[in-house]
């Protein structure tokens, strides 16, 4: 595939963003490559109703 890009005038007044999170990118400029990955796991077993049980401690 041949991809031809003509970068003409690019003029922006205001960019207003509440949040940039979880591997997001705000880029004002040029780049060759961007690679982003995000996983978010909240399975049914992560909803625990009952007496509080501590999570497994570090290094165990």
Residues between 11 and 50 that touch other proteins (CB under 8 A)? 11-42, 46-50
CB of 43 to other proteins, least distance (A): 9
Distance of CA 58 to the CA centre of its chain: 26
Total residues binding other proteins (CB under 8 A): 57
Question: Shortest gap between Cβ of 60 and other proteins (angstroms)?
Answer: 6
Q: How far is the CB of 51 from other proteins (least distance, A)?
A: 7
- Under 8 Å between Cβ of 34 and 25: yes
Inter-CA distances, 25 with 11, 20, 34, 35, 36, Å? 19, 7, 9, 10, 9
Q: Which residues bind other proteins (CB under 8 A)?
A: 1-42, 46-60
């Amino acid at each position: 595939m041949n991809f031809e890009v003509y970068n003409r005038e690019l003029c922006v007044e205001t960019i207003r963003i509440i949040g940039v999170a979880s591997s997001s990118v705000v880029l004002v400029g040029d780049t060759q490559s961007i690679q982003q990955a995000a996983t978010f796991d909240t399975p049914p077993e992560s909803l625990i109703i009952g007496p509080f049980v501590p999570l497994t401690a570090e290094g165990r």
